[in-house]
Amino acid sequence: MTNWVRVMAACVWGLLLSAGVAAQDKADSLRMALVQAHLAWGDVEKNLSAFGERVDRCTDCDVIVFPELFVSGCEMKKKPAAVAVASKDEVAASYAAVRAAMLEWAARTGALVIGSTVYQEEGKYYNRLLAAYPDGTCLHYDKHNCFKKGSFSAGKERLVLHWKGWRLATFICYDLRFSDWSRNDGTYDMALYIANWPETRRDDWNRLLKERAVENRAWVAAVNCAGTDPTGLVYRGESCLLTPTGDVAARSRDYADEIVRATARDE
């Protein structure tokens, strides 16, 4: 092999490693920490502190998953336009701090850490899922399926994470209702859904999660928040890990602030 070929091969390998997609033997199992939390609605600083403490309890895990918009929550009831924009701006201003915290947690635990927050660019707001790797890599997915009259712009690309030889497809809340967007074309082993899904729609949550597992023949990990938001809307939680046959491998306690430890296995 010539020196030029060796250099090119080293460069390609380095790029793959930095993107978290280097070829790996698939681990027999993937240890999940599903962090179902009572959120401090609208309080980024308080949530960052609380999730830092929760991460300290996620020992011996491969993947740590937070709910959607874990540093602020997603209030479902509409606010006046000016109030809504100010709220998004406040959360988006903390984007760099949230990203840095997730990377620090990943480095400290050796786990892939996943959660979403608000990102603002050129006057548009995105519900951005961040995937922080222990090596300092941070990939992102912008929620694709958004409410037509909602406050976020739609992302255009799916994101499949590669970790411990497993392929993890990332989705956010409303994405769950769109089977085509979740379609497994042989590119993933597990679908991750993070959400702020209210109790009033819990039947849909449980039914759709099972459908996605069965139709895609993939593991499904789902993390929801729990508790009550400032407007009185209740979140039951029901975070869970489902097998590719739709069976429940692990489930949270209703309304609980807790970390569900569960293991997906190569079958």
b/e sequence 192-230, b meaning 16+ C-beta within 10 Å? bbbbbbbbeebeebbebbbebbbebebbbbbbbbbbebe
How far is it, in rounded angstroms, from Cα 143 to Cα 138?
16
Catalytic residue among 143, 238, 240, 258: 143
Catalytic residue among 61, 146, 173, 240: 173
8 A C-beta contact, residue 68 and residue 127 = yes
How far is it, in rounded angstroms, from Cα 40 to Cα 51?
11
Q: Is 143 annotated as catalytic?
A: yes
Question: Which residue from 19, 1, 8, 13 is spatially nearest to 162, judged by alpha carbons?
Answer: 19
Catalytic residue among 58, 61, 68, 74: 68
User: Pseudo-torsion of CA 195, 162, 157, 108, nearest 10°?
Assistant: 60
Q: How far is CA 90 from the centre of its chain?
A: 21
Residues with active-site annotation: 68, 143, 173
